[in-house]
Amino acid sequence: MSTPGAALLTRRPLTGGGGGSSGKALAMQLLLAVVSSGYAVGAALGWGSEELAEIMGDFGLSAAGLLAAVSCFTYARAIDSRERPAWLLFAFSSLMGCCGNAVWGWYEVVLGEAVPKPSLADFAFLCFAPPAIVGLLVLAKRPVTRAGWVCLGLDSWLIGGSLLTLSWSLALAHAARTAQSGAPGSVPRAALSLAYPLLDIALVSMVLVLHFRRSETNRSAVNTAIAALALTVLSDALFTSPLLSAEYQSGQLLDAGWFAGSLLLAYAPWGARRMHPGPGSGHDPVAHARVERPHSRPITGSLPALTPYLAAAVCTLGILYNVVDGRKVDRVVVFTGCTVVLALVIRQGIMLLDNIALTQELAQKENHFRSLVQGSSDVIMIAAPTGTLRYVSPAAAGVYGREAEELVGTELATLIHPEDLGRVVHEVRRFLAAPPAEEPTTRIECRFRSGDGEWLNVESTVNRHQGGLILNSRDVTERVRLQAQLQHSAEHDPLTDLPNRALFTRRVRQALSGRRAGDHSTAVLFIDLDGFKAVNDTIGHQAGDELLIEAARRLQDSVRAGDTAARLGGDEFAALILGDGNRDRSAREYQVHEIADRLRTTLAQPYRIAGSEVRVAASIGVAFADPGITPSDLMRNADLAMYRAKAAGKDRVEMYAPQMQAEVVRKAELAGRLRTALHDGEFALLHQPVVSLASGEISAVVAQARWRSAQGILFTPAEFLRVAEYSEGGHPAVPDASRTAELGRWLLEEAVGQAAERHRAGHDVPVAVRMTAQRLLDRSMPLGSVEALLTRNGLPSGALVLELAVSDPRVPFDDLERRLAALRRLGVLIALDGFGSGYAAISALRRLPVDMLKLDRGLVEGVVESPRLHKITAGLLRIANDLGMQSVAEGVDLPEQVMALRAMGCSHGQGMAFSGPLDEYRLRRALVRGTFPVPGGAAQPALAGGSPGGSMVIHRGSHNETPVPPA
């Protein structure tokens, strides 16, 4: 077909599927045909001998009946449905036939005698038909009304009565007259002669009735069973005819009909089962075969309606046979014919009433559905197989802005948007090629031309209709627009309207796949605005939002048309710079670095926010799409490079290097080990003495935590606290508050506990514990916790010194002052740690209640060599002396430093010039001795270990690693 509409509805042939099952079925059918034909040929040739003929005619038929009985019984056990009783009855019926033939063979083959009449074989053969009749009734489609049951009975009698009329006229009347003659043994033989055909007539009646009223389920098995029983009945009819009954002998050609009927009944259930996939398979080949048959079969569909007339015709033939033959019409024939005619009249009356009721119901439903179609807000269209619209409902005027009459006769394909036509044609062809039972309907969404020339988004439910289509369509333009808005909102940042993290990640994935998979010059930039938090804190969040909007606009204007700028969250942005195919890595890195530096300069330009000028900087990390890299790894590399730029001083561009990831992995491993170390008791507590520079006496000890490594090394605080400040997210310089708080609690509790033990042992030396101002103000450490800790361990309050570190300018001094005052009222001494360095040293000294000053080690290390540091340190010590405070110098490692500090007025020192950090055993030995030698002249080596016999070693720096002391 050349028209677009015809192309739209052209079916494509189905391919594949079911080849294995069809092959097995064909093999079984061929085997059945070969065996049956072989039996028929043998019977026709007389089997070669009379004995073999009797064996095959008796025991051969018995074996076939037994096979049918076992097959039907096995199938009945395997299924679970309303058909099970029918197949059990078929099995019993076949078993009766098997027994009858076996008894017949016992007499003829084993005993060599003629079969008596009547005999057990006759009883078994008479029991063949009743179970089969009941089984056929079970398989029949059950009527749903009383009239249906009446019609079923009438149909059965119409068929049975007509056959009885014909049979009586031909043969049964002669048997009845023989029984009335009164000859010896004539009555039983006549009864048997009448019983066989009467039961066969009943069985034939049920076969014919079932053929027109069979159930839709398992139709293949039912049809095969009907054919098997029909073949058996036909053989019975030939056997009871006067022409063959007198001359019949076992093994003749007539036995081939019974043999084939038994084999066909044995095959029936398994041939059907081959076509049934079973429950849960999701595919019904039987239904498939059913729907693939033509929709109408006029001749087959008319046979049930013609059945009553055919029955009346058979009755008429029976009566005419007697009239033409010149015989008196038998009363049985007249009575049976009258009842058949009466049944025909009653049935036709019932059918007439049903037709009148159905006609009225059909008219009502037609009016009902016409009202529904014409009143529906959806447009209902019917397309012919050529694609031409044959019907359009009146709703088209309101939906499409075109009258229904105008659309009728139009090609459906001409109304669909050209860009959607190919997709619609493909979907329609696929739908028409699919089995209707599996896919009764489908949904198609496309753009449809309206009356004013605009394109509307239309959703249609499509059904099959006489080779064409029924389309139930509705306008979904507003829904499509809303979905587009929701999709945009889900993929874009609501503040800046830039792509969000999800869309940016998808764009990166697309850039790394497809035709760009081999282009390794693609780069990802991670951008963080330095100083943005200060803008939020100083001039408000509204101003911060305006700054982010302006920064997003600058970023969007700075990237190329094919690149992607995105906001990942907060003040973090990203840019995807697609590769240009350049294989020169250094040239590409230089080019992308220039782009990133230009972005940094653009973002660092002043922002005009709320009438004032605001400045922020930008730290940018750059990572390239190396071969085999994943989108998450590429974005992670850019993120690491950005944090390296922030750590290196901010307002700069850093290119990713593999060692950045290695460092992250190492720190993550250390962080994981630190987490387990806190719970597994891998920390040790050491103490470093604080010595009087005048007398050498030990005036206090400073508690220091050490982490015991697997190699027997104790890591110093400067080492493991850097790990403790490594966050779970992998970004440096972001403290893990929970871990540092847990570490601080352990240090304080352990130091107080060991100091209490030393106090009970007679060593009344205060213990100093370093604590940050943030930790001291932490709400998880209430005011009474220190007092409770001292009370629980029995340590006097004056024996605890808190070394306060104030390094964050955002610490609220008012809260800190109140907290320190409360601690001093408990008797806890306060030392200002790191004095002479940091932001808040002078402010803290002016406002906070402090008992002693601890000079920063940075001043002590150069106090001998640097005259400037000498003067600064001397000035700070004079301030401490003027305020009446004690002074402690940290990091006193050399004798020259001891003498210089003592000359400046420093009262105490802590460092390797006297002792390094000691374990509890060596500390107690040092406390027993009580003093350390104080250098008074030239530089002398100091005792480093604590025992008099220790080695004399000069150490520089008090944070060197200390080996684990011997147990």
* Among 170-184, 384-398, 638-652, the least confident range: 170-184
Q: How many Cβ atoms sit within 10 Å of the Cβ of residue 705?
A: 23
Q: What is the pLDDT of residues 427-474, one digit of tens each?
A: 988 988 888 888 889 999 899 888 888 888 898 889 988 778 888 888
Sequence-separated (6 or more) residues with CB below 8 Å from residue 656: 621, 622, 623, 624, 637, 638, 640, 641
Q: What is the pLDDT of residues 505-515, one digit of tens each?
A: 999 998 888 66
Q: What is the pLDDT of residues 242-285, one digit of tens each?
A: 555 566 777 778 788 888 888 888 888 887 544 444 444 444 43
Instruction: Give pLDDT, residue 323.
Output: 63
Q: State yes or no: pLDDT of 303 exceeds 50.
A: no
Q: What is the pLDDT of residues 172-219, one digit of tens each?
A: 555 555 544 444 444 455 555 545 555 555 555 555 555 445 555 566
d(CA 782, CA 824): 15
Structure tokens at 481: 């627009």
Euclidean distance between the first and the last CA atom of the chain, given in angstroms as a whole number: 99
Q: State yes or no: pLDDT of 406 exceeds 60.
A: yes
* Among 230-244, 363-377, 715-729, the least confident range: 715-729
- What's the pLDDT band for 848 if we cut at 50, 70, 90? confident
DSSP characters over 207-240? HHHHHHHB-STTHHHHHHHHHHHHHHHHHHHHHH
Q: State yes or no: pLDDT of 19 exceeds 80.
A: no
Q: What is the pLDDT of residues 816-832, one digit of tens each?
A: 888 888 888 888 899 98
Alpha-carbon distances of 328 from 30, 242, 315, 318, 340, rounded to whole Å: 51, 20, 16, 12, 20
pLDDT, averaged across the chain? 77
Q: What is the pLDDT of residues 46-61, one digit of tens each?
A: 887 888 888 888 888 8
Residue ranges of E strands in 263-403: 379-383, 389-392
Structure tokens at 278: 């079973």
Among 75-89, 323-337, 433-447, name the most confident range.
433-447
**Region 644-659: what's the mean pLDDT?**
88
**Region 613-629: what's the mean pLDDT?**
90
Instruction: Give pLDDT, residue 135.
Output: 76
- Give percent of the chain with pLDDT exceeding 90: 18
Helix intervals (H) in 717-840? 717-724, 737-760, 773-776, 784-793, 813-825
Q: State yes or no: pLDDT of 939 exceeds 60.
A: no
Instruction: Give pLDDT, residue 699.
Output: 93
More confidently predicted of 414 and 797: 414
Instruction: Give pLDDT, residue 329.
Output: 59
Instruction: Give pLDDT, residue 282.
Output: 41
d(CA 572, CA 564): 14
Instruction: Give pLDDT, residue 262.
Output: 87
Q: State yes or no: pLDDT of 109 exceeds 80.
A: yes
* Among 148-157, 416-425, 451-460, the least confident range: 148-157
- What's the pLDDT band for 953 if we cut at 50, 70, 90? very low
Instruction: Give pLDDT, residue 5.
Output: 53
Q: State yes or no: pLDDT of 575 exceeds 90.
A: yes
Among 394-408, 512-526, 672-686, name the most confident range.
394-408
Single out the residue of 253, 265, 224 nearest to residue 39, CA to CA: 253
Among 149-153, 746-750, 766-770, name the most confident range.
766-770
* Among 97-101, 548-552, 701-705, the least confident range: 97-101
**Region 765-792: what's the mean pLDDT?**
80
Structure tokens at 243: 């022409």
Instruction: Give pLDDT, residue 757.
Output: 92
Q: State yes or no: pLDDT of 551 exceeds 90.
A: yes
Q: Are 704 and 748 in contact (CB under 8 A)?
A: no
Per DSSP bridges, beta strands 767-772 and 698-708 are: parallel
* Among 415-419, 587-591, 662-666, the least confident range: 662-666
Sequence-separated (6 or more) residues with CB below 8 Å from residue 238: 244, 254, 257
> Model's pTM, two decimal places?
0.48
Length reported for the chain: 967
Q: What is the pLDDT of residues 586-602, one digit of tens each?
A: 888 888 999 999 999 99
* Among 418-432, 633-647, 830-844, the least confident range: 830-844
229-251 burial code (b ≥16 CB/10 A, e <16)? bbbbbbbbbebbeeeeeeeeebb
What's phi and psi for 136, nearest 5 deg?
-65, -35
d(CA 793, CA 324): 134
- What's the pLDDT band for 888 if we cut at 50, 70, 90? very high
Going 298 to 300 to 303 to 305, the CA torsion angle's sign is negative
d(CA 620, CA 618): 6
Single out the residue of 346, 352, 351 nearest to residue 158, CA to CA: 346
d(CA 127, CA 145): 32
d(CA 673, CA 726): 12
